[in-house]
């Protein structure tokens, strides 16, 4: 560890870190660290990876963070530096073995692999792992987590382990969901000796009420308390759960001065103080759509009954019908089929179907989907590339590559939507295109079936989406809780993108902008400008 005076390094010690010993020694196979900033969670992940790699021959550790920058920083600060500065650890490595940013090899054939996964988990596929470390867990998309976890499928049962660490955001964020629904909700409880009698000591769970002018105080009597009191200990709020979790606020760490905490308390927005200092979720997530937005876009005369759909089948003889498919697993994520067409200049989604209950098996879904695409003479179908490799292949073999167009989300791109002929799929700037569709819905450029039929589950899927600012990516990120799917929205998005192959809509995806000095300025969109 770097010395406090900055003059070299010193061995890691639990002095002043008594609360960390239980986490290091936990026998739990699944650990969730619910942390404020700068409380040594990354140090713990690095020490865990190094220790297991040195002591267990052939051990495999996979570390994943949301961004390349975070992964590189972890690789240098938490793996490379300890290995270089420790005489003991240096004996386990050799210059003849791989020691690059994304892979660390050891003499006993152990290996630490480091990857990043923001919008998709492709970089983690096929990497065998015994111990999975997910850092900045709050910024990982919930749909990617099951994919990453598959890396441990062949791990020896004795060594299989999962450690997820992050800083909370909103109450809808993935880390809050895991803590609230799947963890022991561990808290560091600190006693106040001023209380006695029948009730005994008063035990404080550290939070805003414990912030005093000169230090940590008891929330009941206001007296000073010591976070490292001899009797302070971890206590689980839930007796039994898959993850053993630990919340670590800055209030309990010795290296954060009280003057800094008080300064942060005064100058930070309330949600940031709760997240960054207290390690507590705060409901600050914004909803891009409201029920009112969707209700205004619903048409009372658009029904999804068999009789009503006959109208659109007849319409397909002279007008293009398009489809969109978002593939799901059937567990908190469902396959959804959307069908749409243009009615004047509005894009109308006239049919939606979620495959759940007895329709979760892919073969059953394929029969229904092929039947609907044939029935409505669908001109183009846009599909989710990431979620259905085998099913997309079946559709391409049935309808041909021109009618089945695959779309894959990316973080940042030079263009919002562009086709890659080599990969035979479309690349989509996820946040920007989702924002465009949200705004188009607010402008009532989309039409949906009547509210009673659209409300559940399709409208609810769209209302489950929330936005948060991702510090590591420096951009807004749309996400949803793992138990609250958003599949209907993505099926609609793919449906609309497929329609743009026939009817381009630069007014939605790449609108003109106004310049105060030059007037209208055309965007970088270079395709057709027909507006439907």
For residue 104, pLDDT beyond 90 = yes
Greatest alpha-carbon span in the chain: 85
CB atoms within 10 A of CB 424: 12
Mean pLDDT of 417-426: 91
* Chain region(s) in the chain for CATH 3.40.50.300: 18-188+236-278
Q: Among residues of the chain, what percentage have pLDDT more than 70?
A: 93
Predicted local distance difference test score (pLDDT) of residue 473: 66
Mean pLDDT of 306-317: 91
Predicted local distance difference test score (pLDDT) of residue 198: 52
- With CA atoms as reference, report the closest residue to 500 among 467, 532, 453, 466: 532
When the candidates are 1.10.630.10, 3.30.420.240, 3.20.20.70, 3.100.10.20, the CATH number that belongs to 291-521 is 3.30.420.240
Choice among 21-30, 130-139, 470-479 with the minimum mean pLDDT: 470-479
* Chain region(s) in the chain for CATH 3.30.420.240: 291-521
Predicted local distance difference test score (pLDDT) of residue 337: 97
Q: Which residue has the tokens 């846009």?
A: 382
Helix (H) or strand (E) holding 186: strand 186-192
Q: Is the peptide bond before 457 cis (omega within 30 degrees of 0)?
A: yes
- pLDDT tens-digit profile of 221-271? 999 999 999 999 999 998 889 999 999 999 999 889 999 999 999 999 888
Residue 532: CB partners within 8 Å, gap ≥ 6? 342, 345, 347, 503, 505
CA 510 to chain centre: 27
| End-to-end CA, the chain | 63
For residue 509, pLDDT beyond 60 = yes
- pLDDT tens-digit profile of 458-470? 999 999 998 877 7
Predicted local distance difference test score (pLDDT) of residue 471: 66
Predicted confidence band at 527 (pLDDT cuts at 50, 70, 90)?
very low
Contact 435, 288 (CB under 8 A): yes
Mean pLDDT of 391-418: 92
Contact 133, 145 (CB under 8 A): no
Contact 395, 369 (CB under 8 A): yes
- pLDDT tens-digit profile of 65-77? 999 999 999 999 9
CB atoms within 10 A of CB 476: 15
Backbone angles phi, psi at 286, to 5 degrees: -105, 140
Structure tokens given for 285: 């997530």
Q: What is the CATH number of domain 18-188+236-278?
A: 3.40.50.300
For residue 85, pLDDT beyond 80 = yes
- pLDDT tens-digit profile of 39-70? 999 999 999 999 999 999 999 999 999 999 99
Strand partners, 325: 337, 383
Residue 476: CB partners within 8 Å, gap ≥ 6? 431, 435, 467, 468, 469, 470
Distance CA 344, CA 444 (A): 13
Mean pLDDT of 208-212: 93
Distance CA 313, CA 432 (A): 33
For residue 511, pLDDT beyond 50 = yes
Predicted local distance difference test score (pLDDT) of residue 206: 94
Predicted local distance difference test score (pLDDT) of residue 286: 72
- With CA atoms as reference, report the closest residue to 288 among 489, 423, 138: 489
Predicted confidence band at 150 (pLDDT cuts at 50, 70, 90)?
very high
Query: 345 or 374: whose pLDDT is higher?
Result: 374
Q: What is the mean pLDDT of the chain?
A: 89
Predicted confidence band at 199 (pLDDT cuts at 50, 70, 90)?
low
Q: Among residues of the chain, what percentage have pLDDT more than 90?
A: 69
DSSP 107: T
Mean pLDDT of 19-36: 95
Distance CA 274, CA 265 (A): 9
**Prediction pTM value:** 0.67
Predicted confidence band at 127 (pLDDT cuts at 50, 70, 90)?
very high
Mean pLDDT of 174-203: 85
- pLDDT tens-digit profile of 248-261? 999 999 889 999 99
Contact 94, 107 (CB under 8 A): yes
If 0-12 CB within 10 Å is exposed, 13-18 middle and 19+ buried, where does residue 409 land? buried
Mean pLDDT of 10-19: 86
In the three-class reduction of DSSP (H, G, I as helix; E, B as strand; rest coil), residue 471 is classed as coil
- With CA atoms as reference, report the closest residue to 323 among 407, 266, 259: 407
Contact 355, 488 (CB under 8 A): no
Predicted local distance difference test score (pLDDT) of residue 197: 52
């Amino acid at each position: 560890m770097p010395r406090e005076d900055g003059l070299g390094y010193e061995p890691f010690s639990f002095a002043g870190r008594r609360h960390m010993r239980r986490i290091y020694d936990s026998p739990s196979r699944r650990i969730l660290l619910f942390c404020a900033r700068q409380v040594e969670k990354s140090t713990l992940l690095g020490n865990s990876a190094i220790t297991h790699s040195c002591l267990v021959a052939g051990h495999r550790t996979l570390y994943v963070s949301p961004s390349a920058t975070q992964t590189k920083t972890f690789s240098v600060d938490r793996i490379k530096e300890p290995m270089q500065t420790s005489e003991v650890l240096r004996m386990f490595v050799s210059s003849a073995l791989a020691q690059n940013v994304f892979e660390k090899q050891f003499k006993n054939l152990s290996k630490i692999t480091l990857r990043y996964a923001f919008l998709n988990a492709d970089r983690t596929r096929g990497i065998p792992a015994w111990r999975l470390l997910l850092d900045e867990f709050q910024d990982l998309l919930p749909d990617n987590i099951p994919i990453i976890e598959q890396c441990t499928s062949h791990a020896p049962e004795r060594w299989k382990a999962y450690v997820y660490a992050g800083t909370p955001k909103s109450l809808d964020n993935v880390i809050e969901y895991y803590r609230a629904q799947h963890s022991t909700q561990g808290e560091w409880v600190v006693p106040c000796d001023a209380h006695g009698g029948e009730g005994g000591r008063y035990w404080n769970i550290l939070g805003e009420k414990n912030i005093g002018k000169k230090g940590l105080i008891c929330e009941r009597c206001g007296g000073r308390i010591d976070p490292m009191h001899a009797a302070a200990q971890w206590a689980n709020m839930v007796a039994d759960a898959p993850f053993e979790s630990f919340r670590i606020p800055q209030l309990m760490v010795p290296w954060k001065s009280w003057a800094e905490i008080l300064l942060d308390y005064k100058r930070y927005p309330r949600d940031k103080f709760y997240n960054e200092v207290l390690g507590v979720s705060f409901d600050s997530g914004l909803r891009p759509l409201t029920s009112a937005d969707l209700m205004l876009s619903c048409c009372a005369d658009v029904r999804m009954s068999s009789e009503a759909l006959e109208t659109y089948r007849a319409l397909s003889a002279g007008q293009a019908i398009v489809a969109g498919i978002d593939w799901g697993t059937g567990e908190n994520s469902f396959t959804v089929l959307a069908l749409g067409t243009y009615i004047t200049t509005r894009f109308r989604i006239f049919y939606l179907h979620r495959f759940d209950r007895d329709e979760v098996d892919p073969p059953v879904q394929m029969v229904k989907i092929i039947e609907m695409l044939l029935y409505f003479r669908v001109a183009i179908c846009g599909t989710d590339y990431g979620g259905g490799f085998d099913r997309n292949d079946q559709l391409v073999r049935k309808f041909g590559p021109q009618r089945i167009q695959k779309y894959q989300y990316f973080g940042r791109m030079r263009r919002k939507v562009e086709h890659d002929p080599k990969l035979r799929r479309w690349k989509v700037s996820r946040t920007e295109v989702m924002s465009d569709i949200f705004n188009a819905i607010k402008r009532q450029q989309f039409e949906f079936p009547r509210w009673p039929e659209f409300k559940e589950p399709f409208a609810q899927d769209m209302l489950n989406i929330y936005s948060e600012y991702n510090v590591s990516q420096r951009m807004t990120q749309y996400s949803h809780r793992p138990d609250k799917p958003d599949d209907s929205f993505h099926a609609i998005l793919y449906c609309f993108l497929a329609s743009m192959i026939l009817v381009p809509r630069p007014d939605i995806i790449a609108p003109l902008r106004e310049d105060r000095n030059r007037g209208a300025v055309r965007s970088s969109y270079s395709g057709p400008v027909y507006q439907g």
